[in-house]
Amino acid sequence: MTLRLYDTATRELRDFEPLEPGRAGIYICGLTTQGSPHIGHIRFAVAFDILRRWLVRGHRLDVTLIRNVTDIDDKILRKSAENDRPWWAWSYLHERATTQALETLGVLAPTYEPRATGHITEMVELIDALVERGHAYPAADDSSDVYFDVRSWADYGELTHQKIEDMEPAADADPRGKRDPRDFALWKGAKPTEPATASWPTSYGRGRPGWHLECSAMARKYLGDTFDIHGGGVDLRFPHHENEQAQSRAAGLGFARYWLHNAWVTLSGEKMSKSLGNTLTVAELTKTTRPLVLRYYLGAAHYRSTIEYGDHSLDEAASAVERIEGFLQRALDLVDDSGAVIQEAATVAVPTAFAAALDDDVNVPEALAVLFGAVREGNRTLEQGEGADRGALRHTILQVLAMTDILGINPLDPVWGSAGTTGSAEQVLDALVQDRLDARAAARADRDFATADAIRDELTARGIVIEDTPAGARWVLDRQQGPR
């Protein structure tokens, strides 16, 4: 099957053909570490996590995914000053909060996560190339600013299909040093009001990089002059991604071959943002909502569709997760080799209809329809009780686990109960383990000690330590072994 993706640049579905057979390179714009991440921020990571998992599992591609950290910019300097903290400490605090939020929601770690401040040399090299090619110029004043000359690049505006005359002036530097108000800053000269540590020496003068320049330099370093996919939120299309593409191609780089953008999470019809004061952080939400449920919620809609968050938005997601968990709990009790089934699910092929849905521009809603069709089929098999077809049930379990793995919502994934997750994440693991302990207790009551021992061995193999007490069986995670 052929994967088709909606390319924002061409405004059409295109067959995805990797630059290099068997490999795919993806760059996604990470967060600017000015504050704690809310679900509007995190949606992009969940969307591209699903795409990545599908490229690996469904198309057997070796994926290199780069997600940057913008750890120096105007907002960080302003926020850190308001809170009387060093800018680098303020940035690192929120970088850690972002990492925790992504891990809490089961987002796979990137292949590499470069920080902007670690790539000043590469950025200056890119500026030099643009100046030499006549596409950039130092400001005429003594500011040490360097600007990209938008009128020198005939294709400026091609990503967002705009004409220069219709664009707003760039507001990222003092306009006095610009040839055109739409020219954007590649390098921002140091200001006496900013910390000395927030600038670096160059031939243009001390300063720091412009936001757009950072991503072009980091994408090139880790993915090469040309790579497959550049992604991010739809709000980044202009000016950020437009400027990235212009400066990179003006420097002679092929840059991204496909552009993918996810839509917003809105609240009362407005984009969720800190400026509106309508933020919902992952850390706060997961105090009352299981991380698996929040992950399901953020990934269930098509990535190009807006998600409107309301008071009861997570209820449907919770019910959906419970349907999947309920089937798996009951079904695994009836198969003799549940541990082997769980391991086998990592390699089993998914249903054709599920694959077709994800190949259609990562159509998660259609893929979920296939998933819940399998759950319904499995529940019908379970209704037959002891006479249920164990082979058919085993097949359905495999299919459900394989599909949920790809969507990142497998209830049996250790991420939902391993060390370091939140208390509410532990609840799902407790429910799953307790179900197995109840089955073990029933087997012991029936003097079926072989089955009881098999259940204990199964849990032990997965890093669950069982302790029999007068009050009943208790369990803990073996922190040295961990769940497998």
Q: Using alpha carbons, select from 393, 410, 392 the residue that is nearest to residue 401.
A: 410
pTM here is 0.84
**23 vs 406: CA distance, rounded Å:** 18
Q: Using alpha carbons, select from 215, 289, 297, 217 the residue that is nearest to residue 259.
A: 215
Name the one residue in this structure whose structure tokens are 């720091």: 208
CB 398, CB 434: distance < 8 Å: no
Torsion of CA 174, 176, 181, 187, to 10 degrees: -50
Beta-strand pair 184-189/207-209: antiparallel
**477 vs 465: CA distance, rounded Å:** 6
DSSP string, 333-378: HH-TTHHHHHHHTTTPPPPHHHHHHHHBT--HHHHHHHHHHHHHHH
At the topology level, CATH places domain 322-416 in Four Helix Bundle (Hemerythrin (Met), subunit A) (1.20.120)
DSSP string, 41-87: HHHHHHHHHHHHHHHHHHH--EEEEEE-BB--SHHHHHHHHHTT--H
DSSP state of 465: E
CATH architecture classification, 19-282: 3-Layer(aba) Sandwich (3.40)
- CA 236 to centroid of chain Cα atoms: 16
- CA 24 to centroid of chain Cα atoms: 16
What does the pLDDT read at residue 465? 82
Torsion of CA 406, 411, 414, 417, to 10 degrees: 140
Q: Where are the domains of the chain?
A: 19-282, 322-416, 426-484
Q: Using alpha carbons, select from 306, 329, 336 the residue that is nearest to residue 437.
A: 329
What does the pLDDT read at residue 428? 61
**159 vs 212: CA distance, rounded Å:** 14
DSSP state of 344: H
pLDDT along the chain (484 residues), means of 10: 95 98 97 88 96 97 97 94 95 94 96 97 98 96 92 96 92 82 95 95 96 97 98 96 98 98 86 64 91 97 95 93 95 86 92 98 98 97 86 95 98 74 52 81 84 87 75 62 41
What residues have CB less than 8 Å from 241, skipping those under 6 apart? 29, 159, 160, 230, 232, 259, 261
Per DSSP, what are the bridge partners of residue 260?
231
**483 vs 217: CA distance, rounded Å:** 39
CB 414, CB 479: distance < 8 Å: no
Per DSSP, what are the bridge partners of residue 27?
66, 230
What does the pLDDT read at residue 463? 80
